A and B are shown apart, each in its own frame.
Chain A
Amino acid sequence: MIVVALSITGVINRTRAVLAGRKGIRFFQHVSNARLMLRKGAVYSPTTTALFRIAPCVYLGAAIMAFLFIPVANLEPVLSFHGDIILVAYLLALSRIAIVLAAMDTGSSFEGMGAAREALYGALVEPALMMGLATFALFCGYSSFADIFSTAQMFDTNLSIVMLLLAYVFLIIMIIESGRVPVDDPRTHLELTMIHEVMCLDYSGIDLAMINIAGWLKNAIWAMIAANAVSVVVCFHWEFATPLAILGSGITIGAIESLRARNKLSRNTTYILTIVAMSALVLLTGFLLYQNIDI
């Protein structure tokens, strides 16, 4: 799981480089960057309060806790209880509010802009996430990640299509939450068009490293859920699911980033609502299939 967290960004960068015909940076360059930042001092704006300094810790802490609930195919997660799928969603919301408030704390209009967008997209993507989770619950009769994926092997093959669609939905959720093209472009140089990056403009040193690490963890959460959904269909074993999580999500996101332009900002809402509709559709399809099997 930690391997997944560390490697996804590398795969994305490599895919981008290959598609652009470049040689690309080192595979673990982002890790080295983070290590470098962990050794640095910091600059804080006089506008900020203590909240600004605590927020990265909350951001990372909540992400770590959420991370501990995710199983890797047949490997048990560290923590698990009945209902943890909801807890994970709300832990991620906790990390979101921490970073949004920190961005508001700087008093910068650009960061306010990023905070407003992040809060809106986060709010809209929540139903999609919950419906994806509800689909799992529908099939497996449980509401904890560990139970869902441990009983999931006994599926009818009819349901595999639903699982693949679910994997797709979670991949898109990953794109939205981690601020990748087409919703947000981490490489843009213009603050006006940034979403996630603009919120951490005033962070430096350890704080920035914490935010980046939390970003990797979150990516790993989504990628792993998507990979688990796929490996339920194909081969439910961690030796299969782990590389799938890394390569599948990394290459897809890298390819999308290289091949697509980002959305106009005003189109993002529509884009996210499409995913919500999509996951509602997946849920309904799943429901119909499930009912047929019963009868």
Chain B
Amino acid sequence: MFLYALLAAVVAILAIFVSPLRAKVWVATTVISLAAIGALFLVVSSLIGGEIMLAKFSTDLFGLERISVDAVSALFLAIIAIASVAVVIYSRGYVEGYFKRFSPTHISLHYTALVLLVVSMMMVVVSSGGFSFLFSWELMTIASFILILFEADRQEVRRAALNYLVMMHIGFMFLVAGFVMLYNVTGSANFAAVECYFKVAKPVPLFVMFFLGFGMKAGLFPMHIWLPEAHPAAPSHVSAIMSGVMIKTGVYGILRMLQAIDHNTELLYSIGLIVLLAGIVTGLWGVILAAMQNDVKRLLAYSSIENIGVILIGLGVAAVGHAAGSNLIGMCGMCGALLHVVNHSLFKTMLFMSAGNIYSKMHTTAMNQMGGLAKHMPVTAILMLFATVAICALPPLNGFVSELLIYIGMFNGVSDGHEVLYAIGGIIALSLIGGVVVLAFSKLYGVVFLGSPRSHHVAESTEVDNQRIVAMAIPAVLILVIGLLPHYAIRPIALVAEGVTGADSGLAIASFVPMLEKLSYIGVMLLLVISLLFVAKRRAQLKRKIESGPTWGCGFTAPNTKMQYTGESFSEGLENIGKPLMKDTVDGRAVEKSEIFPSQHNYEVRHKDKVDSLLGQWWVKLMHRINLNVMRLRTGRVNNYITFALAFLAAVLIFTLVGIL
């Protein structure tokens, strides 16, 4: 089994390296599509027929392990499969722009890493824990590290990639520690053993280890700071798959934890509260900083953080509701959170691909140099608008369905008197998130696509190739299907939720489906009303005089495009509220009020995350100095190294004799 898998991997990698430059993408596409088809096959058969066992083996480190697909794995396998196919189709046009700049080996390495990332993510969600899980987790980190490093000739890219690698390994350490603790107590390092562990040992340390480890990947506050650095640095299709799918593996881990403590009501309650609180903080922090960003991809990265927050709010509601004894609230929260995992993977993939289209034409992601792109890239503009409406959770698209379910869970909590105060906290947070997301994305869309061009690059940009459009249409279709037919989409989700909570989903389905059916009618009705109004307007206007005149300049006759509202000015009002979360860095000097005839100035403000600035504190410098001193030991002479080894052995001997070890 393993030999075959290894052989297949080697053949695939060789094929990528050997094939001619333009064919590399097709090899990668074939491999990923095959993997995706296999995964989707597993998804369907496991949802219908229950858990599928793929392999069972024993490892030296952690004992018996299994590779199997259950309902939870199925959900994540599905989103990985869909997003990765879309991404690899998209990548052809995007990577072609770099053929002159990078060698064929570089391109091969990129595609190898892409294939490895997809495969390792799939392995992460099917392995039962222990060694195979950690191995694929690490493989996932390294593959994504190589992918981020694509434009390795830029210094900020190298910096961001290194930052990512270090942070991921801190998270990895927590996970290793967690699995070792688990193995020590229960003799098995599978997720299934967690339940047993929580019965016999103190649950808090293990939970903290796993929560930190998975939270690092998911981008939980305050471990989110790698996201806004890594995403702008990575090529857009890589950001798409990392943000759309890879950070969800963190959510997957947290889901496994919740699954394990399902029967322990008291523990579930307190852990649910922690998750809810973490979700609220992460969501609010993410969304406010998203609204303050002036870089397309940084904004999207912060919005991913916010969406992870929303997912965790849903999970928290589910856990607290379940612990409080309400099956319905638990189901609402869980289904909402799981559906949001799917939804976010769809629209965030699309948004990052749109950002990629913009970047490949504009060669920048600075929002304030764009404007009016909708005229030059109409299809991208329409697709991005679609994704924007979806991510703002507006009806009739999919984002609304998942947030509606979470809201209903919380409103049920309020009306049934279950944990009213926490439910209210969740409602306030989610509504504020919903409001500010609208601000952030209307800023993004308005500044980038609408208005008049702010730089000459806009006029030179053209629509991207059709293949990229097709790749973006894949998630778009699914967004529309989930948005307009939510009562069908909820059934598999409810099955998965049943797999997590162990509760019967029949009751919940019975209460969801009529509601979602109505919602689907209303969505269609909304679209009908809007199109009717539009048609009526067009018909009425046919016979009338339609003129074209300049935008009203309020009496000012010589407006220029620099006078438009920029991204910075758009979020100015929020700045006063968001100030405590940020540290502003200013480059250059602003025009002073006393200057009657202003000269030319360069002025740039960057709103940096407060958490980020913690990394520049004294203790980092101290670590740096310690490291420098330790580096002196690295003399490069073999005889010195042998001395060190001897000293180490002697120390071990002495310690053993004394009895410390």
Contacts and interface: CB of A to CB of B under 8 A. Distances in A.
Highest count of chain B CB atoms <10 Å: which of A143, A287, A294:
A143
A63 to B, nearest CB: 10
Contacts of A142: 415
Given A116-B565, A140-B415, A101 B407 contact: no
Contact of A107 (B404, B519, B564): B564
B519 A47 contact: no
Contacts of A134: 411, 414, 423-424, 427
B266 interface: no
A87 interface: yes
B529 A104 contact: no
Contacts of B565: 104, 109, 111-113, 115-116
Given A93-B394, A112-B569, A117-B573, A83 B450 contact: no
Given A116-B572, A126-B432, A130-B431, A105 B446 contact: yes
A27 B439 CA distance: 37
Contact of A141 (B415, B428, B439, B446): B415
A81 B519 contact: yes
B446 A123 contact: no
A15 to B, nearest CB: 30
Contact of B407 (A86, A113, A210, A283): A86
Interface stretch (A6-14, A53-61, A236-244, A255-263): A53-61
B548 A130 contact: no
B574 interface: yes
A141 B416 contact: yes
A82 B332 CA distance: 13
A81 B518 contact: yes
B219 to A, nearest CB: 22
Interface string A104-134: 1111111111011101101111110111011
A107 B395 contact: no
A21 interface: no
Nearest to B371: A107
Interface string B364-389: 00000001101100000100010001
A43 B551 contact: no
B522 A79 contact: yes
Given A41-B541, A129-B431, A134-B414, A120 B439 contact: yes
A137 B407 contact: no
Given A130-B428, A131-B424, A90 B450 contact: no
Contacts of B389: 94, 97
Interface in B513-532: 514-515, 518-519, 522, 525-526, 529-531
B546 to A, nearest CB: 5
A45 B530 CA distance: 22
Size bracket, chain B contacts: 35 or more
Interface stretch (B4-12, B464-472, B553-561, B611-619): B553-561
A42 interface: yes
Interface string B391-407: 01111000010011001
A40 interface: yes
B570 A107 contact: no
Contact of B408 (A96, A130, A138, A143): A143
A64 B527 CA distance: 12
B404 A120 contact: no
Contacts of A42: 541, 544, 546-547
Given A87-B519, A120-B439, A115 B415 contact: no
Contacts of A48: 551
Given A47-B372, A107-B561, A191-B554, A112 B522 contact: no
A53 B530 CA distance: 12
Nearest to B287: A123
Nearest to B400: A90
A25 interface: no
B638 interface: no
A202 B551 contact: yes
B283 interface: no
A278 interface: no
A126 B432 CA distance: 6
A155 interface: no
A120 B439 CA distance: 6
B351 interface: no
Nearest to A198: B554
B452 interface: yes
Interface string A185-207: 00000010000000001100111
Candidate in B430, B431, B564, B577 with the most chain A CB atoms within 10 angstroms: B431
Contact of B533 (A41, A133, A210, A283): A210
Contacts of B381: 49
Nearest to A141: B415
A106 B551 contact: yes
Contacts of A103: 446
Contacts of A137: 411, 414-415
A120 B559 contact: no
B637 interface: no
B591 to A, nearest CB: 16
A240 to B, nearest CB: 26
Nearest to A107: B451
Nearest to A122: B435
11 contacts: A61-B533, A93-B434, A100-B438, A105-B450, A107-B451, A109-B564, A115-B442, A115-B446, A125-B435, A202-B551, A269-B577
Given A45-B551, A46-B550, A104-B446, 5 more contacts: A57-B531, A65-B526, A86-B407, A94-B395, A111-B565
